[in-house]
C-alpha cells in the first residue's frame, strides 16, 4: 500500500470517530494538526489539492481547513 493510501485510510478513520459532532471538521483538523507529523499533513493536503481521491466528506472538510491554516 502506498503511503498516501495509508494517510487517506487514517484520515477517514479519524473522521469516522468525530463525524457525529456538529463541529466535526474542526475537531478532525485539530486532531491532524496535533498528532500528525508535518510531513504527513503536507502529503494529505497535497493529495486534497490533487483531487482528494478516497477521502470521505468529513475528512475532506478537515484537510481543507488544514490547507487554509
24 in a domain, yes or no?
A: yes
**Using DSSP, how many helices (H) and how many strands (E) does the chain show?**
4, 0
Range of the domain at 44: 3-51
Give the mean model confidence (pLDDT) for residues 10-36: 96
**Residue range 43-66, pLDDT digits in tens:** 999 999 999 999 999 999 999 999
- Tell me the angle at which helices 57-68 and 24-35 cross, rounded to the nearest 10 degrees: 60
> Mean per-residue pLDDT for 35-39?
97
The answer to whether position 19 is within a domain reads yes
Q: How far is CA 11 from the centre of its chain?
A: 4
pLDDT at 1: 53
**Average pLDDT, whole number, for the chain?**
95
What cell does 39 get?
A: 510531513
In a domain, 44, yes or no: yes
pLDDT of residue 69: 63
Exposed e or buried b for every residue in 37-49, given b needs 16+ CB within 10 A? eeebbebbbebbe
Q: How many domains does the chain have?
A: 1
Amino acid at each position: 500500500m502506498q503511503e498516501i493510501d495509508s494517510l487517506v485510510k487514517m484520515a477517514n478513520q479519524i473522521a469516522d470517530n468525530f463525524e457525529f459532532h456538529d463541529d466535526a471538521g474542526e475537531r478532525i483538523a485539530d486532531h491532524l494538526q496535533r498528532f500528525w507529523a508535518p510531513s504527513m499533513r503536507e502529503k494529505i493536503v497535497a493529495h486534497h489539492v490533487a483531487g482528494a481521491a478516497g477521502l470521505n466528506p468529513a475528512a475532506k472538510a478537515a484537510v481543507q481547513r488544514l490547507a487554509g491554516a
